[in-house]
Structure 1
Amino acid sequence: MIEILKPEDVERARKTGALVAEILQTMRTRATVGTNLLDIDRWTKEMIEEAGAESCYVDYAPSFGEGPFGHYICTGVNDAVLHGRPHDYTLADGDLLSLDLAVLLDGIAADSAISFIVGETHSPEDVALIEVTQRALEAGIAAARPGARTGDISHAIGTVLRKAGYPINSEFGGHGIGSTMHQDPHVANTGKRGRGYKLRPGLLLALEPWVMRDTARLVTDSDGWTLRSATGCRTAHSEHTVAITEDGAEILTLPKKA
């Protein structure tokens, strides 16, 4: 299903996006050395419920997972890049943490992800990994405008990742979003210009470049959900929900400036 939102629905999406951004930034400040992933999940649940919103994850049960996800936020540490299921793990100095959150508020969903390094030990390789996903996301957003096609976004993202020397996995990528978290069209992290669905105002997309340092192959953890790099290398993930407008793409999940 591809959903085109009315202006009043886009306004509701702005509120959902603001909530997602607020929760992610709060969790970023709380994710320090010694923090347990289960505490991050619990704090996320509390913020979602206090806002009168709903989790898109707790009952999420697609064909590629084992039963409902059962948690409120994805927490990927180091080699875990997608669908990281919170578990009893205490964050250590130098861990590379990815947080991915999708929430439904007043009938409209928004989805966003951030990656950052915990503590004081920041390796140049990890910093570069995070920064390239951010640059790729910016390039994808710049390519998202009325009349463009999903392939234009994919090409923009893939060009940044490829020039930086990272392998690209196209199994999982961006997607449409609206009254439900995952919709068509699929927006791969590499592709050809001029191909795919033609963008028009009212379309919401969750764009999400992610990379693994030295492989394009994923393996599924024993929890049936967490996707890790096949070589154990470090990973990073950046994501924003955007609304296609008459003028381009409006980012709905930007955090407020301090």
Structure 2
Amino acid sequence: MFSTILVPVDGSSASADAFECAVSLAHATGAAVRAMFVVEPFEYDLGGEDDPTRSAARQRGRETLSAVVESATDTDLTVDRDVREGVPYREIVTLARTTADLIVMGTHGPTAKQGLGSTTRRVLDTADTPVLTVPADASIPDDGPDRILVATDGSESASRTADHALELVANVGSAVDVLHVVDETNPALNDSSLPMVELAREGGHDLVEPIRTAARGRDLSVTTAVTCGVPGRVIHSRANDIGAEIIAIGTHGCTTSADQLLGGTAMRVLRQTDRPVLLCR
């Protein structure tokens, strides 16, 4: 399970909400929290570590961390703090690789108004550590999520995400809803001379069954669904209908090309939802 949760903080409202979500997960699972602030590289060499401008930037980082940590609702939680200098996504991924089991971060930083920020996107594309993205104003109950929606297409990325989601569900005692969406935009399904939709539905049941079996093996409350539609839209709608606090989905689906940073379905879910999303490569 998650023993240490890493939270990058940048002064944005989304990162503050991400920190609160991390605190809720830490409270529910017993994990430790480590907050970090990354001072981005300066355009010019400012004369070493003691340069006043560089020192002021590090001080702003410490103040930003303090403001977020001190606002946490769980005042008994001890939070380690790191101020680092470098390219943000690289520093986040590097620190997570050696110290964290989960990264919790805002979907976008202070320079982006909406959508997925460049740092979050790069972290999702390069981190081996699972990532929980948190949009502004999103939250998780103090005792952890009550229900998690796991969307799967049978890809390795989706399977790894499902494993982490089930581990979280097992630790907080919540319910899990497993979903496979038969993509109605697939041209192969338009051939009326073949029972392609029914075959696709049967294949979908084959994909959700291993996750259902794994959940039952942990004595978890689990439901499954296989439906047709546009995957991103259906996942978003299903999460709303069942009241899922977290959506779990792989970063890359079976049809994602090698040069894509994120799969199309993952991107659509991240753009549409107002809920935290758990993703694994």
Both proteins in one fold, TM over 0.5? no
Larger radius of gyration: 2
TM-score, with length taken from structure 2: 0.27
TM-score, with length taken from structure 1: 0.29
* More helix, by proportion: 2
